[in-house]
């Protein structure tokens, strides 16, 4: 381990955070970037195959085929399909658990905070039942039934939820998905040893996985969460390390499965729990948001003001959050929970508890969420965290950064809250776009990584470039955490926008960047795009709308990207996925896709160049629409 911890930290768009991390007396992911800067060229291009004992085989000009005869196109697309299938599986795991938790809540007569959202789903699903709990159970059952279908039986809800012109095109291309769990299974099977060797066929499967990922893992997860957790409501909220209040027992939450915290959230503010906290010298309990589950809780924060302290940061801020010394426990239930937090938790005596065994950390206690035992588990978790607080507080030095972030980021943005803000219709936004007051819309979504310029660097720089061109930005994912901590989601950020967008923002009192929350909320952006397209009477590829996953990180991001391409949207990536060793894959994704779905992949690591490219696409689409 490098003992000069501050000598080699990566840069960050968030300069106060960068300085804080540089001074830490412990190693974080920001320090390890330098040690991992030498990359394998074969891995970067995706031309390494280790599926059988003849390998690993590496493709070079002198060795254009592996021992089995697989060429670069087969190896690359096989690796790519495997990654997309894995990413899709992660999202399907989330929506399955969400549907099960909604079903069990309905069966037990539990609270449903979002009855308007339930009405919306029942209308989509043609459910005529009037009892709310029965309706919720029927909704959950219909989702689960689709998830469990074989891959050769089409999922029924796709046509009820997706935009009709897109469904028509998907049918023409033969990419309507069957049961989503089975699609993941088939994708994994297809890219095993000595099976599929057709690169185009495997890329088509990626589109099919993208559709099931998007409609179920993204769109439906949000709508199901709305029923159980309450719908987002617009409000101003604090963000950054400033949200951590050392007078409370602080619990950092990480992952994507907010419904696992429902019972615990309520118990943390019960008189009994508060008495336990006060008995050991704390005022009570607070949840500190981190990664996507924190973004989701922030989105719905109006419902949880008593227990939610605020959103501290994204995946690569989590180590800094723990290094403040004021976090007493980490509750994790899915990915974006870095292995790097483990030695920090050990050093600072922070209790780690995992609620889902897919996210089991090496030095954490597993208390797998069980709906039937949720009350007992919540009490057990509270008692364990109180004991951790007693052991560590006073024995661990606090290293707070109370000036980090800001206290008035606009949050609670959803397709419903934004439409309501506009008067119940998208017409005001459409009129602004038609008049050129807003040139177009960019969805800046997905992960944060430490490579594309550094922590959130490309994401933040690109966002600034886009809003300066009068393009409004909608965000979802860990990228949102970096953008909000850099102040671009406050009303004052209008000063960074071009003159026309700035005037719109100042008139409406909104920032030029609107935060839709977790990466799951990419599904919300799809709803916004679909509703705008329907109101304009056009298909999605015709909209002056572009996507950027500037600092994509994980296999889930590749599944997200496959969804974006299936929708027919231009998709920018700051770094290429590991496909550049295949001429076929590059051509299909960057050129041929425009004829297939209307989408295309754009690779560029420069913020200004990318903004110019995306602006030109938007301008061309405006011209085609005659605006």
- pLDDT tens string 555-606: 999 999 999 999 999 999 999 999 999 999 999 999 999 999 999 999 999 9
What distance in Å separates the CA atoms of residue 343 and residue 362, rounded to the nearest whole number?
Answer: 10
What distance in Å separates the CA atoms of residue 61 and residue 78, rounded to the nearest whole number?
Answer: 20
Average pLDDT, the chain: 96
CA nearest to 95, candidates 271, 220, 230? 220
Is residue 173 packed enough to be buried (19+ CB in 10 Å), middle (13-18) or exposed (0-12)?
middle
pLDDT at 2: 43
Q: Average pLDDT for residues 20-39, to the nearest whole number?
A: 94
Is residue 23 packed enough to be buried (19+ CB in 10 Å), middle (13-18) or exposed (0-12)?
exposed
What pLDDT digit, counting tens, does each position of 262-300 carry? 999 999 999 999 999 999 999 999 999 999 999 999 999
pLDDT for 206 beyond 70: yes
Model confidence at 1, pLDDT cuts 50, 70, 90, reads: very low
How far is C-alpha 386 from the chain's CA centre?
Answer: 31
What pLDDT digit, counting tens, does each position of 416-471 carry? 999 999 999 999 999 999 999 999 999 999 999 999 999 999 999 999 999 999 99
CA nearest to 156, candidates 174, 182, 180? 180
Model confidence at 335, pLDDT cuts 50, 70, 90, reads: confident
pLDDT at 5: 59
C-beta neighbour count of 122 within 10 angstroms: 19
pLDDT at 3: 55
**185 token code pair:** 């299974």
pLDDT for 215 beyond 90: yes
**143 token code pair:** 């989702």
pLDDT at 262: 95
Q: Average pLDDT for residues 369-397, to the nearest whole number?
A: 97
What pLDDT digit, counting tens, does each position of 484-502 carry? 999 999 999 999 999 999 9
Tell me if residue 127 falls in helix, strand or coil: coil
Q: Average pLDDT for residues 21-42, to the nearest whole number?
A: 94
pLDDT for 7 beyond 80: no
Q: Average pLDDT for residues 188-202, to the nearest whole number?
A: 96
Residue 194 to residues 46, 66, 150, 198, 475, Cα–Cα distance (Å): 18, 11, 24, 11, 41
Which one-letter DSSP state was computed for residue 11?
A: P
**186 token code pair:** 């088939």
pLDDT at 8: 84
Phi, psi for residue 24 in degrees, rounded to 5? -70, 140
What distance in Å separates the CA atoms of residue 374 and residue 371, rounded to the nearest whole number?
Answer: 5
Q: Average pLDDT for residues 82-107, to the nearest whole number?
A: 98
pLDDT for 617 beyond 50: yes
C-alpha angle with apex 139: 564 to 218, nearest 5 degrees?
Answer: 20
Strands (E), 83-200: none
Question: Between β-strands 440-445 and 406-411, what pairing exists: parallel, antiparallel or unpaired?
Answer: unpaired
SS3 content of the chain, % helix, strand, coil (to 5): 55, 15, 35
**579 token code pair:** 């496909």
């Amino acid at each position: 381990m490098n003992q000069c911890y501050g000598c080699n930290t990566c840069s960050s768009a968030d300069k106060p955070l960068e300085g804080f991390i540089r001074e830490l007396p412990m190693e974080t992911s920001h320090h390890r970037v330098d040690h991992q800067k030498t990359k394998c060229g074969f891995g970067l291009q995706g031309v390494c195959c280790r599926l059988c004992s003849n390998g690993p085989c590496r493709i070079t000009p002198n060795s254009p085929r592996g021992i089995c005869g697989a060429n670069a196109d087969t190896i690359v697309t096989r690796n790519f399909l495997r990654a997309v299938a894995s990413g899709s599986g992660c999202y399907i795991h989330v929506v399955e658990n969400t549907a099960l938790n909604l079903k069990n809540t309905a069966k037990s007569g539990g609270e449903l905070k979002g009855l308007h959202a339930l009405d919306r789903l029942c209308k989509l699903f043609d459910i005529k039942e009037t009892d709310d709990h029965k309706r919720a159970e029927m909704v959950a059952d219909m989702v689960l039934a689709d998830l469990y279908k074989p891959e050769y039986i089409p999922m029924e809800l796709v046509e009820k939820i997706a935009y009709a012109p897109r469904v028509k095109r998907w049918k023409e291309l033969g990419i309507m998905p069957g049961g989503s769990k089975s699609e993941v299974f088939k994708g994994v099977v297809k890219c095993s040893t000595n099976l599929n060797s057709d690169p185009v066929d495997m890329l088509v499967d990626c589109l099919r996985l993208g559709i099931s990922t998007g409609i179920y893992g993204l769109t439906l997860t949000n709508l199901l969460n709305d029923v159980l957790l309450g719908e987002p409501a617009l409000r101003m909220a604090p963000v950054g390390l400033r949200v951590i209040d050392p007078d409370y027992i602080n619990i950092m939450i990480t992952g994507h499965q907010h419904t696992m915290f429902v019972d615990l959230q309520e118990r943390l503010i019960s008189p009994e729990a508060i008495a336990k906290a006060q008995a050991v010298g704390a005022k009570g309990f607070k949840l500190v948001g981190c990664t996507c589950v924190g973004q989701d809780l922030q989105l719905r924060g109006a419902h949880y003001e008593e227990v939610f302290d605020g959103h501290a940061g994204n995946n690569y801020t989590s180590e800094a959050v723990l290094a403040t010394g004021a976090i007493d426990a980490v509750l994790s239930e899915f990915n974006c929970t870095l292995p790097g937090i483990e030695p920090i938790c050990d050093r600072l005596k922070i209790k780690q508890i995992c609620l889902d065994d897919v996210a089991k950390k090496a030095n954490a206690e597993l208390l797998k969420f069980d709906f039937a035992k949720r009350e007992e588990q919540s009490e057990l978790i509270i008692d364990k965290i109180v004991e951790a607080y007693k052991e560590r507080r006073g024995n661990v030095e606090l290293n707070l950064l109370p000036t980090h972030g800001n206290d008035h980021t606009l949050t609670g943005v959803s397709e419903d809250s934004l439409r309501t803000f506009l008067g119940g219709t998208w017409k005001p936004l459409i009129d602004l776009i038609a008049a050129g007051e807003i040139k177009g819309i960019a969805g800046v979504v997905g992960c944060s990584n430490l490579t594309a310029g550094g922590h959130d660097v490309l994401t933040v720089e690109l966002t600034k470039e886009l809003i300066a061109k009068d393009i409004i930005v909608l965000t979802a994912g860990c990228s949102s955490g970096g953008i909000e901590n850099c102040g671009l989601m406050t009303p004052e950020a209008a000063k960074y926008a071009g003159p026309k967008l700035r005037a719109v923002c100042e008139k409406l009192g909104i920032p030029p960047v609107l935060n839709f929350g977790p990466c799951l909320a990419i599904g919300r952006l799809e709803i916004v795009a679909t509703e705008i397209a329907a109101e304009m009477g056009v298909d999605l590829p015709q909209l002056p709308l572009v996507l950027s996953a500037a600092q994509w990180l994980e296999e889930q991001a590749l599944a997200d990207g496959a969804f974006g391409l299936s929708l027919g949207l231009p998709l920018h990536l700051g770094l290429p996925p590991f496909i550049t060793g295949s001429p076929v894959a590059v051509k299909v994704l960057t050129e041929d896709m425009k004829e297939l779905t209307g989408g295309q992949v754009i690779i560029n690591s420069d913020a200004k160049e990318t903004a110019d490219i995306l602006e030109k696409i938007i301008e061309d689409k405006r011209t085609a629409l005659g605006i």
